[in-house]
Structure 1
Amino acid sequence: MGRDLRVEHPGTVYHVIQRGNNREFIFDKYDDKAFLLDKIRFYKQRVGFTLFGYVIMGNHYHLIIQMHHSPLQKVMQMLNNCYSKYYNSVRKRTGHVFGGRYKAIPVQEDRYMLTLLRYVHQNPIRANICKHPWEYYWSSDNAYRRSINDLVDVDIMLNFLSPNRRKAVEKYVQFMSLEESDDFESLDLIGDESYALAVKPKREVLQRKRLDEILIETGLTLEEFNLVKSGSRKRSLTSCKETYAKEALKNGYTLKEIAGNISLTDVAIHKLLQKERHSVSTDNFAD
């Protein structure tokens, strides 16, 4: 029986993970990683896609990628087939190089783009290869630190952090230095099969501010931002949550979307807004 077709939509951002067959180290040499990176560049120029980040490890690689016209499946098939031929030729072997189909997890509403980028860049740290992301050559971390908009399209994420490029890079460096909470380790539980089920973005939705952008504009520090995103119930963060929820509603988001972005339930957001309205109503009669 053939495999189910993946459902893909242009404009969707995907976190792609591809592992070696039986998790074997298929990128254990400098030339292996260099070959794969060169082919990523080649197909980016040939097909056209936005690359937000990447890391090439010894037995797998990660891409944060957004397709525009060609389907992701086509690009991944060309990339993996090209590398498989190279690998088998150099090693004088035959057989599978990659372990099944790649995982492709749609990034909904750009909620976790920064956290996902940090997760990708901190892979070498979790593998005890280095102590800092910038020490690992085979990732896009240094492209962000140096503001190099070439293979990786760093402008989008850096502009999200700040319109001032120097401040944006400083914020990026600060965010990358935070300890990884390993929220995305659960991706390994999805299995080898993955299906992109993202709904095709509507024109009006694309023009909305991102939820994380609305959250940052409340004046949170990066530490507070991460606390709110993790669902912290500190009272000192309540005011910012209220402001965030009201602005998100104005931008057309549902209570479920607003709540999910900060690890709460839609009921909790509803109560938060009701409490704020009650407070305003009480203040109007205080005189």
Structure 2
Amino acid sequence: MPRVKREKSATGIYHVMLRGNNKNRIFEQEQDKGKLYNIIKEVKDEYPFKIYAYCIMNNHCHLLVKEETVPINEFMKMINQKYAVYYNRNRNKVGHVFQDRFRSETVEDDRYFLGLIRYIHLNPLEAKMVEDPYQYKWCSYKEYFYETPLMVDSEFVKTNICPERENFRRNFINLHRGDDENLYLDTDEAREARRKKIAERVFLNDGGVNEKSIKKLRDNTGMTFREIARAANISINMVNKYLNQ
């Protein structure tokens, strides 16, 4: 089956996810996470692209990147290949390491961009691995407090959040205390958990299951009629009725 052509971002910014083949925990060990981090940094030094956020979990990795003169396919291919060689050699294995090449979504506006920064940095909290993103070694949150970040290109984010640099630290922390109703690219399990969390919050804020809450789920999350029906504990016909009112 031919590959689906990757959607092109007008801004050049993409949210990228790498995932282990068959949901394997390919970054489970600390040395695995460190190796992927070093590979990304090495490829970034070789190819001109920007990184705004990253988070390396046990079985997947999130990157928020901007392509410049080199297309995203090229530098992501190098990252995948280098890590696959390391992983197979280290585990004495052969075959595919990653599920697909990589998955991506385009990022076309500042609000979605900042929501992704937050979402990527809070992945370890959602997985109950830490209580504060600053505690997680393998995400870029803490780099935004460094005088000279190690890998992230922080200037664009700092300008978007707070042009007055003396207030940046407070505003950046506050950004990570918020939430939104976007359904970001993630593993199937994480997306399902987020759907449920968003639905519960929408029903709570909008007075339960009604026309307003059902339409908000449809418009903001991309949930299917079946998913909305399951979250609201109503029939698909009832979902249709609310949406057609």
> TM-score, with normalisation over the residues of structure 1?
0.62
Larger of the two Rg values belongs to structure: 1
Q: Is the 8 A contact 2:17 2:186 kept in 1?
A: no
Query: What is the aligned-residue identity percentage?
Result: 31
Aligned to 1:96: 96
Q: How far does residue 111 in structure 1 lie from its aligned partner after superposition? A: 2.8
Q: 1:147 to 1:181 in 2, by over 3 A?
A: farther
Aligned to 1:45: 45
Give the secondary-structure state (helix, strand or coil) at the position aligned to 2:93: coil
Question: Quick one: distance in 1 between partners of 2:186 and 2:31?
Answer: 29
Question: In structure 2, the residue corresponding to 1:104 is in which secondary structure?
Answer: strand
- What pairs with 1:66-215 in structure 2 (closer than 5 Å)? 66-178=66-178, 180-181=179-180, 183-185=182-184
In structure 1, give the amino acid aligned to 2:182: D
Quote how far apart the aligned CAs of 1:115 are: 1.1
Q: d(CA) in 2 for partners of 1:166 and 1:60?
A: 35
Structure 2, gaps ≥5 residues long = 189-204, 207-219, 221-245
Q: Is the 8 A contact 2:7 2:105 kept in 1?
A: no
Matches within 5 A, 1:229-244: none
**Structure 1, residues 42-68: CA drift from partner, whole Å, max 9, x if none?**
111111111110000000000000001
- The CA deviation at 1:102 is 1.3
3-state DSSP of counterpart to 1:66: strand
**Matched pairs, number:** 192
Letter in 2 for 1:131: E
Structure 1 counterpart SS, 2:54: strand
Q: Which amino acid aligns with 1:122?
A: L
Per-residue deviation, 1:150: 3.7
| 1:66 to 1:186, Cα distance in 2 relative to 1, 3 A | closer
CA distance in 1, matches of 2:185, 2:86: 32
When the two chains are superposed, the root-mean-square deviation of aligned CA atoms in Å is 2.3
1:2–1:185 CA distance, 2 compared to 1 (3 A) = closer
Corresponding residue for 1:18? 18
Q: Deviations over 1:224-268 (max 9, x none)?
A: xxxxxxxx99xxxxxxxxxxxxxxxxxxxxxxxxxxxxx7xxxxx
What TM-score do the two structures reach when normalised by structure 2?
Answer: 0.72
What is residue 282 of structure 1 aligned with on the other side? none
Give, in angstroms, the shift of residue 156 of structure 1: 1.0
1:194-227 per-residue CA deviation (whole Å, 9 max, x = no partner) reads xxxxxxxxxxxxxxxxxxxxxxxxxxxxxxxxxx
2:110/2:160 contact within 8 Å kept? no
Contact 2:12 2:67 survives alignment (8 Å) = yes
Q: Which residue of 1 aligns with 2:192?
A: none
Which letter maps to 2:151? L
> Deviation per CA, 1:156-197, whole angstroms, max 9, x where unpaired?
11122222223012100122133x4463357557xxxxxxxx
Contact 1:10 1:71 in 2 (8 A): no
Kept in 2, the 8 Å contact 1:119–1:182? The answer is no
